[in-house]
Structure 1
Amino acid sequence: MRSIRPWVVVEPPDSRGLRRVVVGEETVGRAWSAGELRRILGRLGHPEDLDLDDTAAFCWRGGDSGTWPDRPGRRHAVTALMVTGLLASMALNVVVGWPDALGALTFAQRINGILFVLSSAVLGAAAVAALDYGGKRQFRASGAIVLLGVLIALATDSLLLFMWLEETEFTPYVLVFMPLWCWSVWALCLLVRNRSWKEVPQPKRFAAGVVVTALLTGISLAYSTMYQPAAAPMHLTLKAEFGKARTDRSLGFLQVPLTLYMKNTGGIPVYILNDSYRVFGRGAVYSENPPDRDLTREWRDSAGRRGEDTGESELYVGDLTYTTISSGHFYGPGNRLEIGEEYTRKHVVQVPKSAKYDILGVDLTISYMRKDRGKIDVAEFKVPHYSWNKYDKQYYCSPEKGCLSQIYYHGRVWHNDNLVNLTRKPRYVTAFWSPGRIPDSLISPYDFRGKAGGVGKEKREWGRYGAAQADVNSEVSLAELLAPPTPLLPPGYSSQVPTLTP
């Protein structure tokens, strides 16, 4: 005997057009359409040709058997767009974090890289949850997981966009994170409007977890970019000293020992970008200064004849000339100096005995870069290129164009924060060296191919990569170098001549 109570109840459609199906007192499924309703009942053993309008068997609430407001095309498109954006964001976070997680030079930066890699795992889980959230939502927390993934994507894309706006240089990644930023804004608005977190069993704990994760990420970034550079200063100690001169009788030259010394006394390893030492001899014409001379003019003439912009002048010395005797690299571009590491070079300077020098001097100049801020392609940077080499068309510069004869060192440099690398054009470090000249080096987009920016940003890049320059100058009187050594006397022996008493 059939019960007068309908045994199938179809509830009103929800906001997405999904209708809950109840048999007896048990929910047996949810249907988007009449065909799906028949399949649900068919799995329970009922024939698929049931009369859906049979009021004795079906009770329709909020519409009849023809009320199916679902728009499957739009629903599938939204779900596909949500999943695609989450997967693309997952790939982007892997690209951002993986190099830092494996190869960053500081512990804090490696933690940042690991956080980006872990966040990509969350984005992958969110992509899987988006399939359920766009479907029948059998997992209650799927909406919250999708929301968390979208918030991570929005944070990453916003950070990349903010850093890109500092320089507004085109990179291939702009075509990735800018569309993803627009997508994340759309996805967040959609999820907030649908209150995707409402099915979470404990929404307050979920919100607290999101806040804690954001705080930890912010603290880690602040530590790596602000605290650590200040806590680990960079400093080099340089020394340049002449030794006692010796005469080479067979050649008629003076042999002057020179000791050059460098030590990393700071808290950060460094790359040497460029270095040079220059030994010079100073010649001068000495003059007495009678009281009737114009002293002001004497000072002015002395300062104007020095030949160098030193800001110095000497009253009794005029017609100053400076002649480079020896010049070269000290440690070499591209070499690294670890914390506490030191390097000493001993060099012998040959000075003709007939040379009219009164003073020997040495200038030692070194430019260097923090190793925790960037990584140089050392294999490329160490290769010297000669401006006069016609066969090296990339670096050749003819003297007819006003080019100096100099040696170039050029190589790619990467910032230690991969976020910077993704939002900037490639950066290169270039060093210029020629005998007797102050060495020069710069970090810029310039790559000797004429298409990658100019050299106008080198000062900003110099600070961004933590580059600096150190130098030391030393002078010694040639008379002092040639003075005979003071003989060593035995203990108790007096150097005074004894006085004879009659």
Structure 2
Amino acid sequence: MNHQKRAVVDPPDSRGLREVRLDGVTVGRAWSLRELRRLLTRSGFSEKTDPAADPAVFWYGGGPDTWPDQPLQRRTTMVLLVVGLLGSAVLLVDIGYPDLFGALTFAGRITGWMFIVGGFLQALAAVAAFDHWSKRSFKYSGAFALFGVIITLVVCSLLLALWLQEREYFPYCLSYLSLWVWSLWATWRVSREKPWRGIPHPRGFALGAVASGLVAAMNLAYSGLYQPTTAVEKVHYHVAFGIPYASPDAHKSIMYVPVTVTLENTGTVPFWILASVVKVYSTSSKFRPKETSIHWREGEGESQLYTGPPITNLVYWGSLEEPGGWLDPGLRSVRQKILQLPRDAPFDSLEASSDLMTMRKDRGSIGSEFNTSHWSWEPDEATERVDCATCGDIGINLGPLRYNSNLLNVTRKPRHVLSVRYVNDDVEWDYEVAVSPLDERGKISGDFEPEGRFDFVQMGAASATVSFAQLLKQLR
């Protein structure tokens, strides 16, 4: 051993760590006699040096038996903090990544970026927590660990508040529920260390950390959940009969009547088409030229002096657009249906009408499974998820619905959008649209979401009426 070297072991600090100086220069800190021996060996002492007996080692504030460190408690605290902060980092990245490139609005993508950056900061806070509960190589590692813990507490409190709105249990909610409990303990545990000591204006730092967390939470809630509704859906919706034409086969007494339906998005909001229907009814009535008064009761809302009560028959049923399509601003959809009718049909008039249900695209996205139609008379996995024994013949479109903000996706059970088209005259409506989670049997539950949450809009029915005599006169 170099006899000129003198090692000084200072008194233990509040954590039991003792600083070691060699010839007045600090060479490190040690938790135990074994660590002190390794430190001295790296500093030039012989490997056989016994620090407890070597006269070149001077002890202050306690001899070689004074090592108040509690390694099990310290390491357990360190592991819990590091694991919790890393778990928080994974949670934030998992929440933000789907919105990073998949959000339908700019605000949603900004929210995704905020979560990704928050996850990166949490990973750095985990490194800081490891350093603070070990050798404290960085002066402000404790303060940065506290900042990471506060981020976890604020974000998990926000997620918990959103979850409490519905209180739906599903496995994902256990992640932030457990992290919220952990963050309460971690805030208390890190605050006991008073890591803000040594920082200029420590009270300002503490208030700034809390304020930053609260502002971040409010910004997330505003940009991720608030959707402006001032820009409403606007459409140009029109139904018209075209010029009829005769069958090229002279032996067939058939005429073809075009019905054109035009739908144009004249607003600034793209929308999904969830359900639509096009119907054409014929109207006929018996002529009674000698009548002297109108039979009001007989007409049931519409009566004429010289005709009996109108008789209506459905002559065409179909969809304007298959469910799952969408229309961006400025785009127009034109669909033409061709009716085949006998020229001598006993019709007085024809009435065509179209109706549809839409949803703003900035409210959420619908999975591609929704584009496939399933029919009640051909049972499959999709039809088995719908209980409607009294509905008669129906067409079903079913697919997963993702909220525009992933904050809602992780605080609620997965939702499915259901579109039911009634293809019989036994019901008074043409279709129904609902959003609901699946129940424990895997079927659509009756816990339907309010339509206002997704801005479902039923477009006013467009219709057109033409007399059959006029069609015959226009026949080419």
Q: Residue in 1 aligned with 2:60?
A: 60
Q: Distance in 2 between matches of 1:397 and 1:156?
A: 35
Q: Residue in 1 aligned with 2:349?
A: 359
Could you list the runs of 5+ residues in structure 2 that have no partner in the other structure? Answer: 1-5
Q: Residue in 2 aligned with 1:444?
A: 436
The answer as to 2:378 corresponding to 1:377 is no
Q: Residue in 2 aligned with 1:496?
A: none
Counterparts of residues 373-452 of structure 1 (less than 5 Å): 373-378=363-368, 380-389=369-378, 392=380, 395=383, 402-435=390-423, 438-446=430-438, 450-452=441-443
The answer (yes or no) to whether the contact 2:103–2:404 under 8 Å persists in 1 is yes
The answer (yes or no) to whether the contact 2:280–2:315 under 8 Å persists in 1 is yes
Q: Residue in 1 aligned with 2:317?
A: 327
CA gap of 1:473–1:44, structure 2 versus 1, over 3 A, is closer
State the SS of the aligned residue for 2:336. strand
1:344 to 327, 334, 354: 334
CA gap of 1:280–1:72, structure 2 versus 1, over 3 A, is same
Amino acid in the other structure paired with 2:30: A
Deviates more, 1:230-239 or 1:65-74: 230-239
TM-score (norm 1): 0.81
Q: Residue in 2 aligned with 1:238?
A: 237
Deviation at 1:258, TM superposition (A): 1.6
Q: Distance in 2 between matches of 1:453 and 1:196?
A: 52
Q: Residue in 1 aligned with 2:194?
A: 195
Counterparts of residues 68-83 of structure 1 (less than 5 Å): 68-83=67-82
Q: Distance in 2 between matches of 1:12 and 1:398?
A: 74
State the SS of the aligned residue for 1:281. strand
Q: Residue in 2 aligned with 1:252?
A: 253
CA gap of 1:398–1:424, structure 2 versus 1, over 3 A, is closer
State the SS of the aligned residue for 2:362. coil
CA gap of 1:24–1:229, structure 2 versus 1, over 3 A, is same
Deviation at 1:121, TM superposition (A): 0.8
Deviates more, 1:39-48 or 1:91-100: 39-48
CA gap of 1:257–1:68, structure 2 versus 1, over 3 A, is same
Deviations 1:26-51 (A, max 9, x none): 43433222333343344433453244
Counterparts of residues 268-307 of structure 1 (less than 5 Å): 268-284=269-285, 298-303=295-300
CA gap of 1:161–1:52, structure 2 versus 1, over 3 A, is farther
State the SS of the aligned residue for 2:135. coil
The answer (yes or no) to whether the contact 1:327–1:436 under 8 Å persists in 2 is no
State the SS of the aligned residue for 1:160. helix
Amino acid in the other structure paired with 2:280: V
Q: Residue in 1 aligned with 2:184?
A: 185
State the SS of the aligned residue for 2:409. helix
Could you list the runs of 5+ residues in structure 1 that have no partner in the other structure? Answer: 1-6, 304-311, 486-502
Corresponding pairs, count: 460
Q: What's the Cα RMSD here?
A: 3.4
CA gap of 1:35–1:96, structure 2 versus 1, over 3 A, is same
CA gap of 1:364–1:101, structure 2 versus 1, over 3 A, is same
Q: Distance in 1 between matches of 2:26 and 2:173?
A: 49
Deviations 1:280-327 (A, max 9, x none): 112345779989x7x8xx545533xxxxxxxx5447576333211111
Report sequence identity in percent.
34
